[in-house]
Amino acid sequence: MFSARKCSGGFRAIRPHHFRSHSVSRASPNLTFVPACLPPDPVEVEELQRFVSNSKRLFVMTGAGISTESGIPDYRSEGVGLYARTDRRPVQHAEFIRSASARQRYWARNFVGWPQFSSHQPNKAHLVLRDWEKLGKLHWLVTQNVDALHTKAGSQRMTELHGCTHRVFCLGCGDQILRSELQEHFEALNPTWKAEAFGVAPDGDVFLTDEQVRNFEVPACRKCGGILKPDVTFFGDTVSQEKVSFVHQRLAESDSMLIAGSSMQVYSGYRFALAAREKKLPIAVLNIGPTRLDHFASLKLNSRCGELLPLIVCT
């Protein structure tokens, strides 16, 4: 049933012109969801500078920690992550596929959260990585995030490992539409339905009661009447083998690995760090709090991505 969906490495990203604005908010970063940390240590800055200067083909992997400075919470950070603050958990793949009411709940919440979630803008860290790509320093970027902020920043040499909430596809015929387009379908189908958004999650989810969800109408695929699903790897699903091989190839062409804003708890990303270790590539980790590869990383830095990365001179 899913074979109609062609999934490739980095080639299905939404092009930046689909976004109304590429600009970055000039306001100071929203640090509500950023764990407390000290300003970058000059020694650490120097070490990361050396690491980046020595790299000619840098492979970068990012996670939710790079987007917290854009005002999007992560799942796991101590105190400020979604898991620490709430008992909400993301939808499970099997449940979404199996249950019409699970899909209704998912889409009702996603519909309410969308205007705010889709309005988030890239921060300095996203822009630095975009610049490194332009300068030829960054060979490939892999993000575990589904928020499209790297695309909004203008990154192109990139794979969205877990997909992107800005795309929706049909489980029946594979037809793909933009999530923004679907918002209009939702509005047309639910002209009098209203609910307040609060506490948007890393995937655009918000909390609603069962009562609020009950009357929400979910559209089917316009081409075949099939089930619509965001182009996102839900928890309990796996990344396609084709995409995994594609990323392994990009990693094989790289000479070092930088992980930014991820504790790497999820295996779909962690496996690439294991592969980098096997190839004996230098690995730098920039993340507030412990990560799964602290014991074998060449360099571990506990700083905000948007604060430390702009200090690095790319040569």
Binding span for Zn ion by CB under 5 A among 62-70, 129-137, 184-192, 225-233: 225-233
Given 126, 162, 166, 185, the catalytic residue = 162
> Per the annotation, does 154 bind a ligand?
no
For the bound state, the minimum distance from the C-beta of residue 106 to Zn ion, rounded and expressed in Å, comes to: 18
Going by their DSSP bridges, the two strands 299-301 and 283-286 should be labelled as parallel
For the bound state, the minimum distance from the C-beta of residue 179 to Zn ion, rounded and expressed in Å, comes to: 16
96 CB-contact burial (10 Å; exposed 0-12 / middle 13-18 / buried 19+): buried
Residues in the interface with Zn ion (CB under 5 A) total: 8
User: Using CA atoms, how far apart are residues 149 and 154, in angstroms rounded to an integer?
Assistant: 9
Site for Zn ion in 48-107 (CB under 5 A): none
> Per the annotation, does 305 bind a ligand?
yes
Given a contact cutoff of 8 angstroms between Cβ atoms, the answer to whether 122 and 149 are in contact is: yes
Site for Zn ion in 156-175 (CB under 5 A): 170, 172-173, 175
Sheet with 256-260: list strands edge to edge. 158-160, 138-143, 58-62, 256-260, 283-286, 299-301
Among 184, 99, 201, 92, which residue's Cα sits nearest to residue 146? 201
Q: Which amino acid is at 153?
A: A
Given a contact cutoff of 8 angstroms between Cβ atoms, the answer to whether 182 and 218 are in contact is: no
Please, what sign has the CA dihedral across residues 48, 13, 264, 32? positive
Residue from 221, 273, 283, 284 touching Zn ion (CB under 5 A): that is 221
Given a contact cutoff of 8 angstroms between Cβ atoms, the answer to whether 101 and 282 are in contact is: no
For the bound state, the minimum distance from the C-beta of residue 182 to Zn ion, rounded and expressed in Å, comes to: 13
What does each C-alpha distance from 38 to 45, 51, 58, 289 come to in angstroms?
13, 21, 26, 12
Lookup: tokens for 34: 């950023």
Q: Could you say whether residue 227 binds Zn ion (CB under 5 A)?
A: no
For the bound state, the minimum distance from the C-beta of residue 163 to Zn ion, rounded and expressed in Å, comes to: 17
Ramachandran assignment for 250, one of left (phi > 0), alpha (psi -120 to 50 degrees), beta (any other): alpha
Binding span for Zn ion by CB under 5 A among 105-113, 198-206, 224-232, 247-255: 224-232
Q: Give the containing element (helix H, strand E) for 139.
A: strand 138-143
What x-and-dash track marks residues 116-155 binding Zn ion by CB under 5 A?
----------------------------------------
Q: Could you say whether residue 185 binds Zn ion (CB under 5 A)?
A: no
> Per the annotation, does 245 bind a ligand?
no
Residue from 223, 252, 253, 296 touching Zn ion (CB under 5 A): that is 223
For the bound state, the minimum distance from the C-beta of residue 234 to Zn ion, rounded and expressed in Å, comes to: 19
Give the residue with the Cβ less far from Zn ion, 170 or 283: 170
Q: Residue 162 catalytic? A: yes
For the bound state, the minimum distance from the C-beta of residue 172 to Zn ion, rounded and expressed in Å, comes to: 4
Give the residue with the Cβ less far from Zn ion, 37 or 227: 227
Lookup: tokens for 220: 């089917």
State the residues that interact with Zn ion by CB under 5 A.
Answer: 170, 172-173, 175, 221, 223-224, 226
* Residues forming the active site: 162
Q: List, as residue ranges, the binding site.
A: 63-83, 144-147, 170, 173, 221, 224, 261-263, 287-289, 305
